[in-house]
């Protein structure tokens, strides 16, 4: 299976494996169990709108919620919102629920919660619903063109 995300990994020579779920995924715990991982190993790619036409992608491991106050303070803004499903499609090129952190049509400023890099192995969206990319966490920093690290989770 080939997606923009797997093309990026292949072009960089980064080893990974794909995992295909056999049915619908109802929650993070189910996805982790089926992948043989802990929920904290699943990295979510969350898109936020800072202002019209300006977006930020936040990578968060596990079930932790993004701290809106920390994110606003880090970005130096008073207001931000989660992107709509249509904005997710337009900005990332992926369907909501399958967003990979790389392989987007245009560069997106990316913030990675520091906990992501504390893990040995992680999984994330592949660009195709029901299919995950599994790789070593240290390879994520190679696959991401540019990123900023901080504490963005409550």
- Segments making up each domain of the chain, as ranges: 4-150
Nearest-5° angle of CA 109, CA 114, CA 117?
A: 100
The architecture CATH gives domain 4-150: Alpha-Beta Complex (3.90)
Q: How confident is the model at residue 145 (pLDDT cuts 50, 70, 90)?
A: confident
Q: Is the pLDDT of residue 152 over 90?
A: yes
- Tally Cβ neighbours within 10 Å of residue 8: 19
* CB neighbour list of residue 135: distance below 8 Å, 6 or more residues apart: 9, 14, 15, 16, 17, 121, 122, 123, 143
Q: Which of 114, 106, 85, 100 is nearest to 143 (CA)?
A: 100
pTM (predicted TM-score): 0.94
- Tally Cβ neighbours within 10 Å of residue 105: 11
pLDDT attached to residue 1: 84
Cβ pair 118, 59 in contact under 8 A: no
**C-alpha torsion sign, points 99, 100, 102, 108:** positive
Q: Is the pLDDT of residue 64 over 90?
A: no
Q: What is the pLDDT of residues 83-131, one digit of tens each?
A: 999 999 999 999 999 999 999 999 999 999 999 999 999 999 999 999 9
């Amino acid at each position: 299976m080939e997606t923009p995300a797997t093309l990026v990994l292949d072009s960089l020579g980064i080893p990974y494996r794909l995992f295909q779920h056999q049915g619908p995924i109802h929650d993070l715990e189910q996805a982790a169990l089926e992948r043989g991982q802990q929920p904290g190993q699943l990295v979510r790619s969350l898109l936020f709108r800072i202002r019209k036409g300006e977006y930020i992608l936040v990578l968060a491991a596990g079930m932790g919620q993004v701290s809106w106050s920390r994110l606003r303070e880090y970005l130096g803004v008073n207001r931000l919102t989660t992107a709509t499903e249509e904005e997710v499609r337009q900005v990332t090129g992926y369907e909501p629920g399958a967003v990979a952190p790389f392989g987007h049509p245009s560069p997106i400023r990316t913030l990675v919660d520091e906990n992501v890099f504390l893990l040995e192995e992680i999984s994330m969206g592949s660009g195709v619903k029901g299919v995950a990319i599994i790789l070593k966490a240290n390879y994520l920093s190679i696959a991401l063109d540019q990123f900023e690290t901080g504490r963005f989770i409550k």
